[in-house]
Amino acid sequence: MSWRRGIVVREVRRWPGAIEYAVALASPDPAGLPEQVRALAYVSLVGEPVPGDSVLLNVSALVLDLGTGGLALVVAVPDRLPSNLEHPGHIVKARYTPQQQFFLAVDEQDSPHHGVLTGSAAQAGSLDGLPVVVADLHSALPAILAGVYAERPQARVAYVMTDGGALPLAFSRTVAGLRESGWLAATITVGQAFGGDHEAVTVHSALVAARLVLDADLVVVAQGPGNVGTDTPWGFTGVAAGEVLNATHTLGGRGVASLRVSFADPRERHRGISHHSRTAYGRVCLVPADLPVPTPANPEQRLVHEQACALVREATAALDLHLVATDGLLDALADTPVPLSTMGRGLAQDPEAFVTAAVAGRYAARLT
């Protein structure tokens, strides 16, 4: 970890749970960082710094010149610590790190929902056919929702954020905008991820809570921002998408696999259907699931259809291919309440990435 001291210059912007600041470094930087850096403070961890505060920063992402997460992070405001607040709950997240926190999880004994989650419906593990759309990248979330609302404007959608990417949900300005616009009814953070409207220990309990506590019509599950990949067959966080489909099937839900697609990514392994989707859905998923793809209307979509057919033939489990019309989806995607961006590319640069995700949302909405 690379540490620095700094002085808060000004607040740049804020959204629920997080504030971005301009911070001046306290001394010339040995790694060549600029005199002033962007720094993010999570309110639940460090409180709200104000201009003039001395802050301790983690600048590792800046030193490594990372894309996603390319910010300094406020570790502490040493001269003005946040109040010691009493919190209910006994579930620890970021366990055994200096930033560990205690939460009241939806599934723990002290939760007001514990009785519901130990009742007969929960014991049976029945989602009663609840559609669960699973995606690899966080950037698919608003596109999936565009497809849902193009088909069913009054749908009540919950988002379950797994811990494959960012752990604090507050890092996602996308989720903040979707919550503010009403496109998400509620959020649940799972595993080591934290900061949702509800916390859950596992994906399984989160899905049951989405059904029995939140009364969701449909659930979208994806990791937070910051997908990790290593250019190896198994070393990427998106493998968890296949495990979520397994959990959905176990609990009696209807798993819908949202494909990661690109025609702007220069890497051959991500052209058309990414190898991430081929591995997660074709090899990690061990249960039946639905695989929606656009009804081919251009060369790119024809290739996606061909690749999807090959995926279905070679998959370990029974993937059910569904062709879904794309009429109206580009207009819906152009009108989302948050900007669309995947791997730094927007709708104009990589339209099939978002159209394919929207198709998954449209298909799932028809199941509700």
Q: What is the mean pLDDT of the chain?
A: 94
Given this model, what pLDDT does residue 230 score?
A: 87
Enter the pTM of the model. 0.95
Q: Are 114 and 301 in contact (CB under 8 A)?
A: no
Given this model, what pLDDT does residue 336 score?
A: 98
Q: Are residues 31 and 140 in the same domain?
A: no
The answer, yes or no, to whether residue 88 has pLDDT greater than 90, is no
Q: Are residues 252 and 128 in the same domain?
A: yes
Which of 114, 83, 89 lies closest to 101 in space, CA to CA? Answer: 89
Given this model, what pLDDT does residue 99 score?
A: 86
Q: Are residues 265 and 319 in the same domain?
A: yes
Is residue 278 situated within a structural domain?
Answer: yes
Given this model, what pLDDT does residue 82 score?
A: 80
The answer, yes or no, to whether residue 281 has pLDDT greater than 90, is yes
Q: Are residues 38 and 142 in the same domain?
A: no
| Domain around 47 | 3-76
Q: Are residues 171 and 309 in the same domain?
A: yes
What confidence tens digit (pLDDT) does each residue in 249-278 have?
999 999 999 999 999 988 888 899 999 999
Q: Are residues 286 and 340 in the same domain?
A: yes
The answer, yes or no, to whether residue 66 has pLDDT greater than 80, is no
Confidence of residue 172 (pLDDT cuts 50, 70, 90): very high
Given this model, what pLDDT does residue 69 score?
A: 62
Which of 258, 286, 290 lies closest to 274 in space, CA to CA? Answer: 258
Q: Are 358 and 325 in contact (CB under 8 A)?
A: no
Q: Are residues 29 and 139 in the same domain?
A: no
Q: Give me the mean pLDDT over the 112-127 stretch.
A: 84
Confidence of residue 54 (pLDDT cuts 50, 70, 90): very high
Question: Last residue of some domain: 76, 93, 123?
Answer: 76
List beta partners, residue 357. none
What confidence tens digit (pLDDT) does each residue in 12-48 have?
999 999 999 999 999 888 888 999 999 999 998 999 9
Is residue 105 situated within a structural domain?
Answer: no
Given this model, what pLDDT does residue 67 score?
A: 62
Is residue 10 situated within a structural domain?
Answer: yes
Q: Are residues 49 and 172 in the same domain?
A: no
Q: Are residues 72 and 195 in the same domain?
A: no
Q: Are residues 28 and 170 in the same domain?
A: no
Query: Cβ of 251: how many Cβ atoms within 10 Å?
Result: 22
Which of 84, 21, 11 lies closest to 57 in space, CA to CA? Answer: 21
Q: Are residues 284 and 216 in the same domain?
A: yes
Q: Are residues 145 and 36 in the same domain?
A: no
The answer, yes or no, to whether residue 152 has pLDDT greater than 80, is yes
Q: Are 349 and 264 in contact (CB under 8 A)?
A: yes
Task: Report the CATH number that the domain containing residue 43 is assigned in CATH.
Answer: 2.40.50.220
Helix (H, G, I), strand (E, B) or coil at 322: strand
Is residue 98 situated within a structural domain?
Answer: no
Question: Last residue of some domain: 76, 99, 124?
Answer: 76
Q: Give me 190's structure tokens.
A: 């799972």
What whole-number distance in Å separates Cα of residue 293 and Cα of residue 326? 9
Q: What torsion do the CA atoms of 335, 339, 340, 345 make, to the nearest 10 degrees?
A: 130
Number of domains in the chain: 2
Q: Are 178 and 337 in contact (CB under 8 A)?
A: yes
Is residue 31 situated within a structural domain?
Answer: yes
Question: What H or E segment, with its residue span, contains residue 37?
Answer: strand 36-42
